[in-house]
Structure 1
């Protein structure tokens, strides 16, 4: 389990005058690793070998790289500690290193382990009462008693957390602890009609008050990742424009703190690229253009940066909010060239599909029914055949009677280099039209882009049923 948590990474760090000295009873000339947290993941940072009695020493961490760390011994087993700019002396046992930690020197880690001991004691007390709540045979009296005990324990933990913040507010552990404490939302007067909305706005405005944006060490603990992930995926509405504006505001808070800027920018960029939420690619392209292409992603080498920027370029023409490039391709007869920009409709669904695609064959009848319902209300479908050979596409369209909407496709002849060049230079078509698979990042079909009357992309990657729902909502606006 421990090995799954630890990413194999080698990172070199500058030396510091203080040291991390550990004695692990039960080790003898064994290899031991120093690992550090980056967000919620552990990465190897240094390695050494114990002496015959299990003693080892690591150089202390530079300030910007301080944070929650771990000593990883064979097994693998590990225990965590707070690496800060002070000498640290800890002893433990190889049989269970996290259980037998004894902090000999380090005020930071004494506070850290005192709190862990406090929490461990409360968990032991809580365990039988939690079992009572899960016991279907428990009496109402037992349930009420269990709830009261657990409530009291929760209040004790809260009081201890507040004590640590008050007495040890200068400690790094106190900053980590503060990050996981939710802001206390003030009560709203009873005569206020939109009380929940006001409380939500207050919560948003004060969500990041618990974070010291000047401290680079805060990213070296899972608590920072926890509140960032919660903010991005649960607190904020999953609306791309709202998320995009919130991303810029959050990153602005971290400017000047390279470690935090890197963590937030990286998280938002790659979360938006992999998100299943419609139109999140808009955020990915914005992040790359604003923070990567501008030279601010100093942690990436040239090859990595090029890969990210190339990916943004691949998504650029199909991102929500942009005007779709004109697509000019031959129609069903493969002789009449048809232009997307010539389509005059309130809504246009660009439907990219192929006749050999099983999923397409299941979806197309749904789009056919949708077209019958919505064509009188202003919907047009511009269907692009993704078959490289036009004959199967033509036969399928005609046999299944998908001839009511606009059908276009390419073919090997027009894609031949000489033909393509001649067609482009003569103005018959465009490079983006002939390369529509690249233009629209087509890796799977069917792929649908919903356009408004101005040819702006307002939806993508949507099935027929979802498309119908979106059109219904648009008509009510």
Structure 2
């Protein structure tokens, strides 16, 4: 289907919706009260042939998804009305058939008092009457259709060029076409800065990468990156709910965090803090962004980024924004935050004073070693049966020589025989082996103390942490190979 999106991306095909400049048939005179009431809500008439006596829908984008926002019943003349006391959030919308297929797109303006006319067999000829936003888009779509076709022809000629001179000439012509399209868009945003079309153009815009400047005789290779990052969100207001009703905003947001924001959690926190505080007055976009960032960093892609989730909990949810959640989500987010608070990178590891295989107290903080690996496991866990012997092999081959200590915790106090049998059969020696007795567990629960399962976020086995000489957490939830590489890198950085 040819659509608004294609034209906004400068495709050469013709637009799915054209705004008709005709004056609509004169309607019966309305009283001032009726006119005022209509202006507060939506009243969008639709004629969609040949459909009769059936329901059609009005849908919109919601980030990367699509949602249905309204419905209208067509009479035996294929006529109906999308009507309601409240206006819909502006953005890119589409008419949906009873079979749930998109017929054509349209721009939802602020007035929302216009008419749609179309035919399911001639989607490209759909017309909109009485909407300045769609009139502007019609003119733009006609312009971009011509320029898009020209650009396609030039691109084909460029690939077919046999000489450098021809390639250079065609490339210059392509540059001219691109500048003409951009100039048209710039003119729209300057003349009609508050229109939906201007907002769409601003949302899509990515700053052109500048040349590398020479500063004091040396090229500043990072300047292009800094320039694009600093201007990436020019003229985009994060509290504008209309951003969500486009398919452009969220992919652009994802690219920003992927290419222009350091994966280091403090850098991410600065970005999400600015965006959320700016978006806070947005009725739809604020909860959407808060939910998006919560989901992304509650189970992050990179180690340590769960610090962003903890920040969101402490600075937004814990300060009242749990009202945005249903009880189940509130419970999940709160519990997850409490499981992560005590084991952030750079923090001192929670104390462990457990019982060893001989019944004596084994204290984590009594260990004197440049690195301590803390591993929580279960002798009956299938994955543990594979990983624990691998860890022992790594310990015997490398870590023992580097004075790396291993504090090993059996997480089930009722599996002591199986635990000791596993250690004997695999000849695991040199580690500190410990567990929490049933009495110690019950005493902690009675005193209302957080147990080590919560403090160390043990939701699966094995779970492993790497601590430095001061018992600060420097890594968690990595593979054995990644832990080993990190130790090697740390030792190399310290000159050892």
Q: Provide the C-alpha distance between the structure 2 equivalents of 1:258 and 1:113, rounded to a whole number of angstroms.
A: 30
Q: Is residue 23 of structure 1 aligned with residue 39 of structure 2?
A: no
Out of 221, 241, 244, the residue aligned to residue 246 of structure 2 is 221
Q: 1:43-82 maps to which residues of 2 (within 5 A)?
A: 43-59=67-83, 62=86, 65-78=89-102, 79-82=104-107
Q: Provide the C-alpha distance between the structure 2 equivalents of 1:266 and 1:120, rounded to a whole number of angstroms.
A: 38
Question: Residue 130 of structure 1: CA displacement?
Answer: 6.0
What residue is the counterpart of 2:59 in the other structure? Answer: 35
What residue is the counterpart of 1:256 in the other structure? Answer: 281
What residue is the counterpart of 2:261 in the other structure? Answer: 236
Cα distance 1:20–1:274, how it changes in 2: closer, same or farther (>3 A)?
farther
Q: Provide the C-alpha distance between the structure 1 equivalents of 2:377 and 2:149, rounded to a whole number of angstroms.
A: 59
What residue is the counterpart of 1:469 in the other structure? Answer: 485
Cα distance 1:15–1:111, how it changes in 2: closer, same or farther (>3 A)?
closer
Secondary structure, aligned partner of 2:316:
helix
- Tell me, yes or no, if the aligned pair for 2:213 and 2:223 is still in contact at 8 Å: no
Question: Larger radius of gyration, structure 1 or 2?
Answer: 2
Q: 1:57-456 maps to which residues of 2 (within 5 A)?
A: 57-59=81-83, 62=86, 65-78=89-102, 79-86=104-111, 87-95=113-121, 97=123, 99-120=124-145, 122-123=147-148, 140=162, 144=167, 151=175, 153-187=177-211, 189-192=213-216, 193=218, 195-333=220-358, 335-372=359-396, 373-386=398-411, 389-410=415-436, 414-415=437-438, 420-422=441-443, 432-433=451-452, 436=453, 438-456=454-472
Once the two structures are overlaid, the 10-residue window that deviates more, 73-82 or 169-178, is: 73-82
Cα distance 1:431–1:266, how it changes in 2: closer, same or farther (>3 A)?
closer
Secondary structure, aligned partner of 2:262:
coil
Q: Provide the C-alpha distance between the structure 1 equivalents of 2:259 and 2:213, rounded to a whole number of angstroms.
A: 26
Cα distance 1:464–1:185, how it changes in 2: closer, same or farther (>3 A)?
same
- Deviation string 1:407-426 (CA, Å, 9 cap, x unpaired) is 2234xxx33xx67435777x
Q: Provide the C-alpha distance between the structure 2 equivalents of 1:409 and 1:310, rounded to a whole number of angstroms.
A: 24
Q: Provide the C-alpha distance between the structure 2 equivalents of 1:208 and 1:326, rounded to a whole number of angstroms.
A: 45
Q: Provide the C-alpha distance between the structure 1 equivalents of 2:364 and 2:272, rounded to a whole number of angstroms.
A: 34
Please, what TM-score do these two structures have when normalized by structure 1?
0.83
- Tell me, yes or no, if the aligned pair for 1:61 and 1:83 is still in contact at 8 Å: no
- Tell me, yes or no, if the aligned pair for 1:328 and 1:430 is still in contact at 8 Å: no
Question: Residue 358 of structure 1: CA displacement?
Answer: 4.1
- Tell me, yes or no, if the aligned pair for 1:20 and 1:57 is still in contact at 8 Å: yes
Once the two structures are overlaid, the 10-residue window that deviates more, 116-125 or 248-257, is: 116-125
- Tell me, yes or no, if the aligned pair for 2:45 and 2:80 is still in contact at 8 Å: yes
What residue is the counterpart of 1:460 in the other structure? Answer: 476
Q: Provide the C-alpha distance between the structure 1 equivalents of 2:253 and 2:225, rounded to a whole number of angstroms.
A: 17
Cα distance 1:431–1:114, how it changes in 2: closer, same or farther (>3 A)?
same
Give the number of aligned pairs. 451
Q: Provide the C-alpha distance between the structure 1 equivalents of 2:282 and 2:133, rounded to a whole number of angstroms.
A: 23
Cα distance 1:456–1:152, how it changes in 2: closer, same or farther (>3 A)?
same
Please, what TM-score do these two structures have when normalized by structure 2?
0.80
Q: Provide the C-alpha distance between the structure 1 equivalents of 2:143 and 2:373, rounded to a whole number of angstroms.
A: 60
Cα distance 1:423–1:267, how it changes in 2: closer, same or farther (>3 A)?
closer
What residue is the counterpart of 2:7 in the other structure? Answer: none
Cα distance 1:61–1:406, how it changes in 2: closer, same or farther (>3 A)?
farther
Q: Provide the C-alpha distance between the structure 2 equivalents of 1:151 and 1:421, rounded to a whole number of angstroms.
A: 74
Cα distance 1:355–1:214, how it changes in 2: closer, same or farther (>3 A)?
closer
Secondary structure, aligned partner of 1:28:
coil
Gaps of 5+ in 2: 2-37
What residue is the counterpart of 1:11 in the other structure? Answer: none
Secondary structure, aligned partner of 1:397:
helix
Secondary structure, aligned partner of 1:389:
helix
Q: Provide the C-alpha distance between the structure 1 equivalents of 2:384 and 2:468, rounded to a whole number of angstroms.
A: 24
Question: Residue 230 of structure 1: CA displacement?
Answer: 1.5
Secondary structure, aligned partner of 1:210:
coil
Question: Residue 33 of structure 1: CA displacement?
Answer: 1.6
